[in-house]
A and B are shown apart, each in its own frame.
Chain A
């Protein structure tokens, strides 16, 4: 149980375009999901907390207009990187909370050219 999927697993896009990443809890409902960013050989940096049916809570320094989060159902949260630039290239990982434990998706590797 407690399986989290993410789509796509990797994406390459041109500078200036927007990219949407989906995070799904497959066998449980998650009122809370989290979005992280991870640079190579670095730790996970929390970007925002996604709450079903309400606005996301962003961490300090994370631009909410740049990283749009939507949590429209109990099994799906999406992160849209708007007007992507090369510095947005990173590994984006989501997690979903089940019984006070966070389970992670497999991550999405974004490369912006």
Chain B
């Protein structure tokens, strides 16, 4: 089955710096790659997603890049703010199905 690896597990940055989180996956049939932000005790919130027909997508300070050949995709957050502090999960759809397989999560801490 699909295997999703996420790095780093923790990331601490200074306010205003950029943060990058990377995920790799194993199933070449996967074609949907969302990123979720989860604050402590809250539900995961979709922040950006990308499908396999594009290589990059941007929404204000957040961007996602996809390399299908290498089977990895990354989340980029620019001009980080303290409210960006949370756990971020990447996910990959299970090939022919719509079920999502989640990465292990990255705890992002933005220091003011």
Docked Cα-Cα span, A45 to B45, in Å, equals: 16
Docked Cα-Cα span, A102 to B93, in Å, equals: 11
Which residues of chain A from 27 to 53 have any CB-CB distance to chain B below 8 Å in the complex?
32, 34, 42-46, 49
Contact B43 A107 (CB under 8 A): yes
CB distance from A6 to the nearest CB of B (A): 8
A44 touches which of B44, B49, B98 (Cβ 8 Å): B44
Contact A46 B46 (CB under 8 A): no
Contact B49 A104 (CB under 8 A): no
CB distance from A52 to the nearest CB of B (A): 14
**Chain B positions within 8 Å of A32 at CB level:** 98
- The stretch among B14-22, B52-60, B77-85, B102-110 that forms the contact with chain A is B102-110
Contact A49 B99 (CB under 8 A): yes
Contact A43 B43 (CB under 8 A): no
Contact A100 B32 (CB under 8 A): yes
What are the interface flags for B27-55 relative to A under an 8 Å C-beta threshold, 1 for contact and 0 otherwise?
00000101010000011111001000000
Residue B101, interface by CB 8 Å: yes
Residue A54, interface by CB 8 Å: no
**Chain A positions within 8 Å of B1 at CB level:** 60
Contact B100 A105 (CB under 8 A): no
B101 nearest in chain A by CB position: A46
B34 touches which of A42, A45, A93, A101 (Cβ 8 Å): A101
Q: Given known contacts A43-B104, A43-B105, is B46 in contact with A103 (CB within 8 Å)?
A: yes
Binding site for B on A (CB under 8 A): 32, 34, 42-46, 49, 60, 93, 95, 97, 100-107
In the complex, besides A44-B44, A97-B98, A107-B42, 15 extra interface pairs with C-beta distance below 8 angstroms are: A42-B105, A43-B89, A43-B102, A43-B103, A43-B104, A46-B99, A46-B102, A49-B97, A95-B100, A100-B32, A101-B34, A101-B46, A101-B49, A104-B36, A104-B44
Q: List 21 A-B contacts (CB under 8 A).
A: A32-B98, A34-B99, A42-B104, A43-B103, A43-B104, A43-B105, A44-B102, A46-B100, A46-B101, A46-B102, A49-B97, A60-B1, A100-B32, A101-B49, A102-B34, A102-B100, A104-B44, A104-B45, A105-B43, A106-B42, A107-B43
